[in-house]
Structure 1
């Protein structure tokens, strides 16, 4: 596995993070604009706003990274472990995402994100890895620092750590916010790896929730008409939570 940055311990974060996590969360320059690449639940505005303030959110392509269902964790789940989306450095890969500019206190914003993404690492992204999703959009100031949260040990879903529909619903609701035509959501599916039949429909008792309404009908239309999720959606609808 190849990572694209050398990590520098951050004394600024040492007081708020366990010592084993500080080394993979580099120090920021608070005098510079700070951006993050949001590629999972942070694509949803309500989910982002629960953690940070923002001044700009722009759809992008990011090159040199792979997004997939390969982060197993029970840290965020109230009752059941699950597999979350993660990113790894991969030279020939790319995916669509949202570039978010952190507002107000950038230092506090990054610290809040680091706590939220507690078992992920964070690394700088070179500006030439970021492309506009459409048009000739200006992507950040020349001196901006751009960050992505990545996974150190990717592990795909299994029966103990399935994909949960409620988490996917939040993520795809963010894709629909950006592009109501569903193209961005379809590309999210197509540029995400490790889709799996280990997929729980937990909508009746969602593990993850946000306050804004979830467009479930549009989400299911996207999932049912886009490969590879169209192969799994029927088995998802029959799956039960009882084996947890």
Structure 2
């Protein structure tokens, strides 16, 4: 999943970043999570040292299915993004009882060379849709934000007929094997020709 510049969409962000982000440690740092990171379980798989997700509205960006998968693994989307700062003027809390925290806000934008609408080769996959929308349902219930899931769905661009249901055999390998990426890199390192010849059936 990627995004393109346009109008606005509903979102959430984890509270703290780890030092590996190489950001200014003098200020609190926040990431806008607009896809799989909305779901707590998925976010914690990436980094365990984050806080609670907070539902927000971000202006100046649109979530879209436009990041093609390019990796040694068999996934359809990867983290080929540039980090951009989001100004406080572009962030609105959807929970009226909370207060916008101070610090810096960041969003990861798909690099131009990796932007491509869904196609037969790079389809939308249901396991990712499920993760994304499960996260939205979680936010809606946890923070009592009316129609959060509906709005996230409607404000996502790029839905298309190039869409596969991979619920039985997920194309996102870590759904069943958490070490899938490490395993794929190891096999590609030692048996590159054979590894490239593998086909998904």
- Per the TM superposition, whether the score is higher than 0.5 is yes
* Alignment root-mean-square deviation, CA: 2.8
Distance 1:75 1:147 in 2: 24
Aligned residue pairs, count? 156
Alignment of structure 1 residues 50-61 onto 2, 5 Å: 50-52=45-47, 53-61=49-57
What TM-score results when the alignment is normalised by the length of structure 1? 0.57
Q: Is there any run of 5+ residues in structure 2 with no aligned partner, and where?
A: 6-19, 177-198
Deviation at 1:210, TM superposition (A): 4.9
Q: What is the CA-CA distance between 1:55 and the residue it aligns to? A: 2.1
Corresponding residue for 2:131?
170
Corresponding position of 1:9: none
* Contact residue 36 and residue 148 of structure 1 kept, 8 A: yes
Match of 1:137 in 2: 98
- 2:143 counterpart of 1:147: no
Using the alignment, how far apart are the partners of 1:192 and 1:139 within structure 2? 24
Q: Deviations over 1:108-147 (max 9, x none)?
A: xxxxxxxx83x11101110110011242521212xx0110
Following superposition, which runs of at least 4 residues in structure 1 exceed 6 angstroms of deviation?
none
Q: State the partner residue of 1:218.
A: none
State the alpha-carbon separation in 2 of the partners of residues 160 and 48 from structure 1: 27
Structure 2 match to 1:186: 150
Q: Deviations over 1:145-170 (max 9, x none)?
A: 11000012221001110000001111
- Which structure shows the higher strand fraction? 1
1:120 equivalent to 2:76? Answer no
